[in-house]
């Protein structure tokens, strides 16, 4: 709907999930906004990437960054479906630890679960206390909560910390994250992945969703944005020249950009003026872009986000993967069949893994972790992509047996370059490596939730600048999408409600990160 005023010229820097969501929401109001989406990469999607595979693995593509999410990812799924892509349900199977003394899963009871039965039930009670005494207890680091309520060291390092690290992407910083994340993992309607299970900690086979081919999806999304008038400018460098709260933002832009040996931009240079700037890049990159133009509040908030460099090795080395993780059912890994439910779980796990539409019959884990003996609070993560991602199951067809493990595609994730002395990546057969990628991930330490998250409302919208990205709250593709939509909403774009749950999540994010109340449309 036209406003009668000149269109606002908007620069959205960063074409990951946040930037694409922001540009897409603005593009729905073409009479009001002229949108320029700029990114230094050669493709859109940010960390949501796909790679090609040799057909001998059973599929021709693999999502190698972001792989899937829970049913709460409503905005993400809405964008998928808008372009004809459908997320696929999968009954999740996980495998934590190596050996009877460290292993547990959500598929059948293990000796570790039997050993810590009392502490598992106690944790359920503690979660309720964290919720009741929020934010007093919620802001405390997980390691402090575990000590405060006198949990054993082994229960914390073998069960609680790997659980949070794997599903919330907190990695080796998990002991330092706020305990609110642990509570919300199980209890918060807008964040929880599943309900707390007082018997085995994790519920049996919760439904998750695997993402479609992200490379294709982001390509189609970008093409649609171009058709709607968005100027999608890839391989583009940006420098902020000036920000003025009344006059707008001046940028120096390098089109078809490259870096020289000193990481300075080279290419076709333009000085351009914009009415508003949306920074959809990591907090440290945003702080660097602002440079001398950053206010003390921006320096304080953006500087509170701590980043770590991780590497993902995609490979087909089954011998290595089996040496690190528990990948198949073994009788010595099985706990007591002390109830009818447990007996059924054990019988299910004993089956030879057989493909079905939404996962596997039999024990066929998808997510893995194991802790290092010399540093038990630090972990190595892994994924059996063949078991998890739907394109492999579709190729097999229902009731097909699992392929030989040397035909599986695995990912092993080594966390925090500073801990590289613990890494075992040199043990992976070099001839079986499919790809290697480094990722720049933020850590959810407890300071993040007393400095960054509550501080966002004090920098968002100041000096004609807004911020979006998962780092503004918690490391999820869904939060990145919501954050981009929220930035567009602040600029005057319309939020189009499509789901009551999604609308409620959006309203809460807008209040927390922007300090603004969402105005629901009547009727």
Helices (H), 3-84: 17-27, 74-82
For the domain covering 8-49+213-295+463-514, report its CATH number. Answer: 3.50.50.60
3-state helix, strand, coil in the chain (%, to 5): 40, 25, 35
Q: Sheet holding 265-274: strands in order across?
A: 237-244, 248-259, 265-274
> How far apart, in whole angstroms, are the C-alpha atoms of residue 421 and residue 442?
21
Q: Taking the CB of residue 82, how many other CB atoms lie within 10 A of it?
A: 14
Report whether the peptide linkage leading into residue 23 is cis, meaning its omega lies within 30 degrees of zero.
Answer: no
Within 13 A of 201's CA, how many CA atoms are on the CB side? 30
Which 3 state secondary structure label does DSSP give 253?
strand
Mean pLDDT, the chain cut into blocks of 10 residues (523 residues total) = 74 98 97 97 95 94 92 96 97 94 95 96 93 86 94 94 80 83 76 79 87 98 98 95 96 82 75 97 97 97 93 97 96 95 95 94 95 87 96 93 92 92 95 95 85 96 97 93 98 95 95 94 65
Contact between 255 and 233 under an 8 Å Cβ cutoff? The reply is yes
Nearest to 419 by CA among 178, 180, 165, 182: 165
Contact between 367 and 387 under an 8 Å Cβ cutoff? The reply is no
Q: Where are the domains of the chain?
A: 8-49+213-295+463-514, 94-204+308-446
First-to-last CA distance in the chain?
Answer: 19
> How far apart, in whole angstroms, are the C-alpha atoms of residue 163 and residue 104?
11
Which 3 state secondary structure label does DSSP give 442?
strand
pTM of the model: 0.93
For every residue of 75-98, which 3-state class applies, written as one string? HHHHHHHHCCCCCEEEECCEEECC
pLDDT for the residue numbered 261: 57
pLDDT for the residue numbered 520: 83
> How far apart, in whole angstroms, are the C-alpha atoms of residue 368 and residue 162?
9
């Amino acid at each position: 709907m036209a406003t009668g005023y000149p269109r606002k010229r908007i620069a959205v820097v960063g074409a990951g999930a946040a930037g694409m969501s922001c540009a897409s929401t603005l593009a729905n109001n073409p009479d009001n906004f002229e949108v320029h989406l700029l990114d230094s990469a050669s493709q859109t999607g940010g960390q949501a990437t796909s790679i090609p595979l040799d057909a001998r693995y059973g599929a021709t593509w693999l999502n190698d960054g972001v792989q899937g999410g829970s049913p709460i990812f409503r905005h993400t799924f809405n964008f998928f479906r808008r372009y004809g892509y459908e997320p696929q349900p999968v009954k999740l199977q996980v495998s934590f630890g190596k050996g009877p003394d460290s292993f547990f899963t959500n598929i059948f009871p293990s000796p570790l679960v039997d050993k810590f039965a009392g502490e598992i039930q106690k944790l359920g009670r503690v979660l309720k206390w964290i919720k009741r005494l929020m934010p007093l207890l919620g802001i405390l680091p997980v390691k402090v909560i575990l000590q405060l309520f006198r949990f054993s060291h082994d229960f914390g390092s073998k069960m609680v910390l790997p659980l949070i690290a794997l599903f919330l992407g907190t990695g080796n910083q998990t002991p330092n994250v706020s305990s609110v994340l642990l509570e919300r993992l199980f209890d918060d309607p807008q964040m929880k992945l599943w309900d707390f299970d007082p018997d085995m900690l994790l519920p049996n086979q919760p439904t998750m969703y695997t993402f479609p081919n992200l490379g294709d999806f982001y390509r189609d999304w970008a093409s649609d944005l171009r058709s709607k008038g968005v100027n999608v400018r890839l391989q583009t460098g940006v420098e902020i020249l000036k920000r003025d709260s009344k006059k707008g933002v001046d940028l120096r832009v390098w089109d078809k950009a490259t870096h020289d040996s000193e990481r300075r931009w080279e290419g076709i240079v333009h000085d351009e003026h914009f009415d508003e700037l949306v920074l959809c890049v990591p907090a440290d990159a945003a702080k660097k872009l602002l440079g001398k133009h950053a206010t003390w509040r921006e320096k304080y908030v953006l500087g509170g986000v701590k980043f770590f460099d991780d590497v993902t090795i995609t490979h087909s080395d089954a011998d290595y993967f089996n040496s690190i993780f528990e990948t198949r059912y073994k009788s010595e890994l099985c706990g007591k069949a002390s109830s009818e439910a447990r007996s059924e779980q054990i019988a299910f796990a004993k089956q030879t893994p057989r493909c079905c539409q939404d996962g596997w019959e039999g024990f066929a884990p998808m997510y893995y972790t194991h802790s290092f003996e010399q540093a038990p609070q630090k972990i190595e993560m892994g994924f059996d992509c063949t078991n998890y991602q739907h394109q492999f199951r579709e190729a097999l067809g229902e009731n097909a047996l699992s392929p030989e493990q040397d035909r599986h595609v695995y990912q092993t994730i080594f966390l925090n370059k500073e801990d590289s002395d613990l890494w075992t990546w040199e043990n992976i057969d070099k001839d079986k490596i499919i790809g290697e990628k480094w990722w720049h991930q933020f850590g959810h330490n407890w300071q993040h939730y007393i400095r960054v998250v509550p501080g966002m409302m004090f920098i968002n919208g100041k000096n004609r600048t807004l911020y979006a990205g998962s780092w503004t709250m918690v490391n999820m593709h869904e939060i990145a999408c919501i954050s981009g939509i929220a930035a567009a909403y602040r600029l005057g774009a319309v939020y189009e409600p499509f789901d009551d749950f999604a609308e409620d999540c959006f309203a809460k994010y807008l209040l927390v990160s922007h300090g603004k109340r969402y105005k629901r449309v009547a009727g």
